[in-house]
Amino acid sequence: MKPNRLQSTLAGIGIAAALAASLAWGQSRPLRVGMTLSDIPTTSGQPNGGFEGYRMTGYTLYDALINWKLDNAKAPSTLVPALATSWKVDAKDTTKWLFTLRKGVKFHDGSEFNADAVVWNLDKLFKKDAPHHDARQRAQVAGRILSLKAWRKVDDYTIEFTTHAPDSTFPYQTTYVFYSSPAQYEKLGRDWNKFSQQPSGTGPFRLEKMTPRERAELVRNSSYWDAKRVPKSQRVVLLPIPEPTTRASALLSGQVDFIEAPPPDFIPRLKSQGFQITSNVYPHIWPYFMSFREDSPWRDLRVRKAVNLAIDREGLVKLLGGFAAPAAGAVDKSSPWFGKPTFIIKHDPAAARKLLAEAGYSDSKPLTLKVMVSPSGSGQMLPRPMNEYIQQNLKAVGINLELVTQDWEVLRNCRRAGAGSPICQGVHGINNSSATVDPFSAFGRIYSSKAIPPKGFNYMYYSDPKVDAMVEKSNNIFDEKKRDQLLGELHAYLVDQAVDVWVVHDVGPRAMSKQVRGWVQARHWFQDLAPVYVAD
């Protein structure tokens, strides 16, 4: 019997539908990711492990009220509506914000996301007497949403936030808070440890299985609220491989498909074997933060400029196989906050020598700077060869750079405690890389005198009324363009004052097999794994 036209049409539709389905859902091969972390970041809501934790078990399993736009490699990432569809500040009282929540969003366990869930989660983090308060989760995020004072449900899909003082950067701060399911917490007997084994968020992936220190298996959340971000991979396996050479070997031997931070000396080999290598500048700075306390030579502007001019950043980038971008300030030139500094940071040893001579230093009376460095750490790149290179650069203009090596945690503790504290062992500065993701992380928490320890991260004890005023003013400008302009002026001022030694920005290299598709390396610390898959 010959098939009639209807039959052929139906068969055609069937094949087309099957093809479409296979395109949409068919990536059956798991995406195996080699992380640099030594363990699976915590999965109960607020991940540990810094921004890598946010990338791996934060933005995969959860959403914030506002997410970052991570699908563009060409421009700095911006904010996009997520669990909140819109937000606005109260024109009469600028400490009040109204967030409208997205309707129809479900947690992985099927329960509904609404204003009650938001209040419950904020209580979990910041209300110490709440029965479900979790100090561990609080520690991961408390320092990132400092402006938040109070929160209140207005109706089922509206939340009102109150900040301590007017702060136009508040929406940025909300991107760090993730929302876990109250229903799942109840179901698991109100136990955060159990919850971390069977978490329930609203993100594009669900956690299927986790073995601490070994692997976490995430599977696609087919009913994710944002159709564009429904994962292309059916399954993503996260493997902690902290040793760089082990990570590269795992990629070369086909045990993983994608690794973060391949060691630079492996990159030529990986390239020659057809592996894909990507990199992109992102809001990261590898600096020396220096002490402005009494007796510090850093209080002299000439010294600050001289050190900045003595460093051959291009040479350093070459040393790193091209995987870094020379810094001309705290933020990259492509940032809307770069501004127009008049002090141009470049390699000019002659000018450096001249400035040092003016400041009273000479070969017979050389300047000695002691800087604490770490052998490794989050965002620290390759500290040893980089610091030794800078040591040589500074030697060439007559500065003795003494490197005090301490492990990463000691360095972090010194940063928290501030210059001059006993744990800092008498150093003039620290080499602690820093994130400049949002206006507060980039400026307020580092350069404002209000952030001097124990209250913040102004390790340097830097205090300049002009900077304080600009930070304060920027917090009160609710027009984004105008605020960016003011932040540009603030940044230009900081560069002209040569407040820190800004050396390079990391470009976050990644390596992946030929079969990996869909990866877009956004100009951000966070990245989106949802569109990434391994082609059959």
Q: Which one of 413, 469, 515, 535 is in contact with other proteins (CB under 8 A)? A: 413
Q: In angstroms, rounded to a whole number, what is the distance separating the alpha carbons of residues 242 and 38?
A: 5
Which positions from 370 to 389 touch other proteins by CB under 8 A, shown as an x/- string? --------------------
Which positions from 181 to 200 touch other proteins by CB under 8 A, shown as an x/- string? -----------xx--x----
DSSP output for 96-161: EEEEEEPTT-B-TTSPBP-HHHHHHHHHHHH-TTSTT--HHHHHHHGGG-TTEEEEEEEETTEEEE
**In what side-by-side order are the strands of the sheet with 84-89?**
84-89, 96-101, 158-163, 148-155
> According to CB under 8 A, which residues from 36 to 55 bind other proteins?
38-40, 42, 44, 46, 48, 50
Nearer to other proteins, 414 or 486 (CB): 414
522, 280 contact by CB (below 8 A) = yes
Does 439 bind other proteins (CB under 8 A)? Our answer is no
Minimum Å distance from CB 32 to other proteins? 10
> According to CB under 8 A, which residues from 446 to 475 bind other proteins?
453-457
Minimum Å distance from CB 143 to other proteins? 3
Minimum Å distance from CB 196 to other proteins? 6
Does 33 bind other proteins (CB under 8 A)? Our answer is no
Minimum Å distance from CB 241 to other proteins? 6
Element (H, E) at 495: helix 480-496
94, 83 contact by CB (below 8 A) = no
Per CB under 8 A, the segment of 79-87, 97-105, 233-241, 295-303 that binds other proteins is 233-241
Q: Which residue has the tokens 């520690």?
A: 139
SS3 504: strand
Alpha helices in 146-240 (DSSP H): 170-173, 182-187, 192-197
- Residues contacting other proteins: total by CB under 8 A: 54
Nearer to other proteins, 410 or 477 (CB): 410
Element (H, E) at 217: strand 215-220
Minimum Å distance from CB 72 to other proteins? 26
The 10 Å CB-count burial string (b at 16+, else e) for 120-155 is bbbbbbbeeeeebebeebbebbeebbbbbeebebee
502, 475 contact by CB (below 8 A) = no
Q: Which one of 104, 131, 254, 465 is in contact with other proteins (CB under 8 A)? A: 254
Q: How many CB atoms lie within 10 A of CB 19?
A: 11
Q: Which one of 153, 346, 412, 473 is in contact with other proteins (CB under 8 A)? A: 412
Q: Which one of 22, 78, 246, 400 is in contact with other proteins (CB under 8 A)? A: 246
Does 149 bind other proteins (CB under 8 A)? Our answer is no
Does 274 bind other proteins (CB under 8 A)? Our answer is no
Q: Which one of 12, 14, 110, 212 is in contact with other proteins (CB under 8 A)? A: 212
Nearer to other proteins, 190 or 482 (CB): 190
Does 521 bind other proteins (CB under 8 A)? Our answer is no
Burial of 228 (0-12, 13-18, 19+ CB in 10 A): exposed
DSSP output for 33-86: EEESSSSPPP-SSS-SSHHHHIIIIITTT---SEEE--S-SSSB--EEESSEEE
Nearer to other proteins, 113 or 192 (CB): 192
Minimum Å distance from CB 419 to other proteins? 13
Q: In angstroms, rounded to a whole number, what is the distance separating the alpha carbons of residues 405 and 38?
A: 21
Return residues touching other proteins (CB under 8 A). 38-40, 42, 44, 46, 48, 50, 135-136, 139-144, 192-193, 196, 209, 211-215, 239-243, 245-246, 249-250, 252-255, 406-410, 412-413, 416-418, 423, 453-457
